[in-house]
Structure 1
Amino acid sequence: MKYKKNGFCIDDERESVQLEKVEALLRASYWASERSLDLIKMSIEHSVCFSLFQGHEQIGFARVVTDFASVAYISDVIIEPEFRKLGLGKWLTETIVNDPRWKDKLQILVTDDAHTLYERIGFGNSHKLLSTSV
């Protein structure tokens, strides 16, 4: 599925993921800076991936680990630094949260730094669990 807004596009096709760009984004994060390329590849292969693009350039990424029956774990939500504060992380997360494949499932998101953003999207209620990483 593709979603478009103000010159940006979210694509949930795994084949659209620009591995080199996602690796660079994750290496710059506090939670995945030491994740190996092999682990990044494996996580992409076993997840539903959402890539955020401006034109042909990937500027954001997130993935969902799910059984499609009861739970969806939203992971690795990240936006290129120069595109932050534009509402793109919120749009990416809302797109994921409202996806019909797990809209009514238990959704879990773990973060150490963006509680306010995710609480505004509804995390913290009975269908969306927000947690701090351990």
Structure 2
Amino acid sequence: MADGDKTIEISMDRARLDLDYCYDFIAASYWSAGRTRGEFDRSVEMSFPVGAYCEGRQVGFARVVSDQIAIAYVADVFVDPDYRRMGIAAKMIDALHSHPELKRVKRWLLATADMQPLYRLHGYADLDDMMMMRLDEDARNRDPLR
């Protein structure tokens, strides 16, 4: 994706993540007050992360916590303020939805206080004022993981 001269790359490569950058952003967010760096590192280790990159630096992050079969929870989605309105969050969500190890997941959940319009475009419906869910009815028709 390009916006002017800015090419955005979406990658599931865990080794590329700039965890210092991600933690600094997430530690200042409304949804993770009090999360320690150790807790953040562990949360990334125990999930499926995705990063967005522009000109060699990370500009976005998201992750999914899942059992890989029944449920997936989208968490910690953010885009650097200087790179918003370029479709980066949408690209990261699409990458997570199409992750090969998550292809059999039927129920996708997330919580957001302010980004409901974005998630509605990706098939999520409101459960209440903060929680949203997406049902992937085709998940059961895909080849099993094992």
TM-score under structure 1 length normalisation: 0.84
Query: For 1:131 and 1:107, how far apart are their aligned partners in 2?
Result: 17
Distance 1:21 1:62, change over 3 A: same
1:66 aligns with 2:66: yes
Which letter maps to 1:41?
D
1:17-45 per-residue CA deviation (whole Å, 9 max, x = no partner) reads 11111011112311124211111111011
Aligned to 1:23: 23
Q: Which residue of 1 aligns with 2:85?
A: 85
Q: Distance in 1 between matches of 2:122 and 2:113?
A: 16
Distance 1:9 1:63, change over 3 A: same
Q: Report the more deviating stretch, 23-32 or 50-59.
A: 23-32
- In structure 2, how many angstroms separate the alpha carbons of the residues matched to 1:124 and 1:108? 9
- Identity value in percent: 28
Q: 2: CA distance between counterparts of 1:131 and 1:23? A: 26
Structure 1 unmatched runs, 5+: none
How many residue pairs get aligned? The number is 126
8 Å CA contact 1:65, 1:75 repeated in 2: yes
Alignment of 1:94-113 (within 5 A): 94-105=94-105, 106-113=107-114
- Normalised by the length of structure 2, the TM-score is 0.78
Distance 1:119 1:103 in 2: 20
Name the residue aligned to 2:138. none
Give 2:34's aligned residue. 34
The CA RMSD measured in Å over matched residues stands at 2.0
Aligned residue in 1 for 2:140: none
Q: Please name the residue that 1:43 is paired with.
A: 43
- Of the structure 1 ranges 90-99 and 43-52, higher mean CA displacement relative to structure 2 is found in 90-99
Secondary structure of 2:125's partner?
coil
In the alignment, which residue of structure 2 is the partner of 1:132?
130
Equivalent residue, structure 2, for 1:117: 118
Which of structure 1's runs of 4+ aligned residues deviate more than 3 A? none
Q: Which has the larger radius of gyration?
A: 2
Task: Specify every segment of 5 or more residues in structure 2 that has no aligned partner in the other structure, as ranges.
Answer: 132-146
Displacement after TM superposition at 1:109 (Å): 1.3
